[in-house]
Structure 1
């Protein structure tokens, strides 16, 4: 939520800066274009930083979830691969008893 509020503030400030009346500032058309370009690139840069931090956070969350999945013991009811593996072990163990 904090990231979205930061993004909203950056966009609003950029919009206010770009939409300021250039005649009141006494700037030429070239200076106005440069200021507008600067404001747009600043907004783009800030949005890029915010998006990067969101992607990093999501990646860390993903890694933590993967770690939690690995740390939980798998039971036969939850995972079909575990069930297959345990069935194979039982069959092998049963055959070894028959041979002896």
Structure 2
């Protein structure tokens, strides 16, 4: 939003800068007036170019982040019917194994 406002204000300021250059035409020589106008136009063009480059960079970073989010989906589907049963059996087997190791260590 801030970038659009800045860009719009630059575009609005361009005719005013050019008008100022034409108003001072009588006091400046033709070469000096043309140089002043070219400098003002190139300054505005440079500012607009920087703003557009900044917007492109932000859009590219947002694109990369969305691609990363799409790729990093869940690796294991939990909505399969046998998955929960398998996990419960695995937990039970592991706890039995831990208890058996603990009881064998106490007897030794």
1:23-74 deviation digits (Å, cap 9, x = unpaired): 46x2111111001100110111011000000000000100110111011237
Structure showing greater Rg:
2
4+ aligned runs moved over 6 Å, structure 1: none
Equivalences for 1:15-94 in 2 at 5 Å?
Answer: 15-20=15-20, 21-23=23-25, 26-73=27-74
Runs of 5+ unmatched residues, structure 1: 76-100
Give the TM-score normalised by the residue count of structure 2.
Answer: 0.62
Runs of 5+ unmatched residues, structure 2: 77-108
Give the TM-score normalised by the residue count of structure 1.
Answer: 0.66
CA RMSD of aligned residues (A): 2.0
For these two proteins, the number of residue pairs brought into alignment is 75
